[in-house]
Amino acid sequence: MSTKVICVVGLGYVGLPLACLFADKGYETIGLEKERKKVELINQGICPLRGKEPGLNEILLSVVNKRKLIATSDPEICSQANAIFICVDTPINEFQKPVLTFLECAVMEVGKRLKKGALVAVESTLPPGTMNNFVIPLLESVSGLRAGNDFYIVYSPERILPGNVIVSLKKNARIIGCHDEKSLSLAREIYSAIVEAPIYETDMLTAEIVKTVENAYRDVQIAFANEVALACEELGADVFEVRRLVNTSPFRDMHLPGSGVGGHCLTKDPWLFASSITRQSLPLISTARAINDSMPKHLAALAIEALCEAGIEVSKSKISVLGLAFRKDLGDTRNSPALVVIDTLRKDAKIIVHDPYAEPPIDIAFTRDINEALRDSDCAIFVTDHSDYFTIDLQEMAKLMHTRIIVDGRNLFDAKKCREKGFIYRGIGKGR
């Protein structure tokens, strides 16, 4: 198959950069996206993803101007495609169970219009077993075609790093879980156009496990760092100095502790993996999730403790929450620790939120002016390590605030310097 037309279903943090890279390599690329506002922005060459994504804006504008990338909300375009990439969200519900509604809708829309000989590649993160037990049977049922004979299919999970999506798509090794040899051959050919790293082949089930386990593994590592941080607070040590020295030992890679884990991967992928296991429990994974989920509430507790030390009643306080996005220099608020901090404190205190990139998904006082956020504040809680916060002048900050309290969730400040400037300082992993 000589691929002429590519369709990417879902133009979010995975699908949009993927579509841009294929278009940049000369493929006629069509993006299918249900949000019409996003479609309008993309067709104007405007990136709808907020925050810093080096290279993405430039590539998007270039491929749109060259008419190599067109976005639409019309699913009929799937009938034109030689290769279709499904990049939709697979969230979990309040019971930590997979919600495959978006995936089901995407597969059905594709299946109704799937042409013979086309390749389907699913990039969404899936509970192990989903490709063989759900996606392929549904595609075959809706299309009336047979996988491996009439159409071809692979599972190749995304491995992007938010804040560096273009480089990670190009440079991170690619896993292809194949249904058959012909599917693998077609997928290798097309992915090789954009991937400058090794491409590893395996079966679909193994690829599904790899994707969920690699994020569960990182979540466990972060949970260990957070647990050590809590211990250091009690012992009176600095966890970041402990971490620095631990990592001088061979084969050690202690992760950074912090105010919590957010985003669309680490908060759900461990549960997607666990959802496929029915005969035993996975206590390490569930414990790690519980530890990481507890960190934003711990950050809020540090703020309450500091306010009490200053003699300020929480109910009469103004608290500034600095950083709404889940990750540095991004605008993505999905599962952000800041939302938990806000929810924990807003019933008692007056809250104002600052973020240079994110839009608040909740009704809350919000500003992009950091001075406005800090003015007359009794407590500044730093949840996200945006670059803007590294250049804050403590002396100027002290002049703006009503009560000098810093609660540091990302090791942004030197505790000694803060105290020298008259601040009450609390930091995750920073013993007093």
Residue 417 annotated to the active site? no
Residue 3: which pLDDT band, with cuts at 50, 70 and 90?
Answer: low
| Residue 2 pLDDT | 57
pLDDT in tens, 332-363: 999 999 999 999 999 999 999 999 999 999 99
- Residue written as tokens 């950083």? 323
Output the pLDDT for position 4: 87
Give me the pLDDT at residue 264, please.
87
> What pLDDT score was predicted for residue 154?
98
Q: What is the pLDDT of residue 1?
A: 45
Q: Has 211 been annotated as catalytic?
A: yes
Confidence of residue 139 (pLDDT cuts 50, 70, 90): very high
Q: Looking at 52, 211, 328, 430, which residue is catalytic?
A: 211
Domains and CATH numbers, the chain: 5-202 (3.40.50.720), 285-427 (3.40.50.720)
pLDDT reported for residue 22:
98
| Token representation of residue 333 | 């608020």
Tell me what the mean pLDDT of segment 365-388 comes to: 98
Give me the catalytic one of 78, 87, 232, 265.
265
Residues 257-266 have a mean pLDDT of: 94
pLDDT tens-place string over residues 386-415:
999 999 999 999 999 999 999 999 999 999
**Given the structure tokens 């105290």, which residue do they identify?**
419
Q: Are 379 and 354 in contact (CB under 8 A)?
A: no
Task: List, in sequence order, the alpha helices (H) in 54-203.
Answer: 56-65, 101-113, 130, 136-143, 165-171, 181-191
How far apart CA 19 and CA 162 sit, in angstroms, is 16
User: Per DSSP, what are the bridge partners of residue 151?
Assistant: 147
Q: 44-58 burial, b if ≥16 CB within 10 A, otherwise e?
A: eeebbbbbbbebbee
For the stretch 240-254, pLDDT in tens is 999 999 999 999 999
Q: What number of CA atoms fall less than 13 Å from residue 190's CA on the CB side? A: 33
- For 64-108, write each residue's pLDDT tens digit: 999 999 999 999 999 999 999 999 999 999 999 999 999 999 999
What's the whole-number average pLDDT of the chain? 96
Which amino acid, one-letter code, is at 365? A
Average pLDDT over residues 368-386: 98
pLDDT digits (tens, 9 = 90+) for 14-65: 999 999 999 999 999 999 999 999 999 999 999 999 899 999 999 999 999 9
Q: Which amino acid is at 92?
A: I
Q: Are 390 and 323 in contact (CB under 8 A)?
A: no
Element (H, E) at 177: strand 174-178
Alpha-carbon gap, residue 295 to 350, rounded angstroms: 21
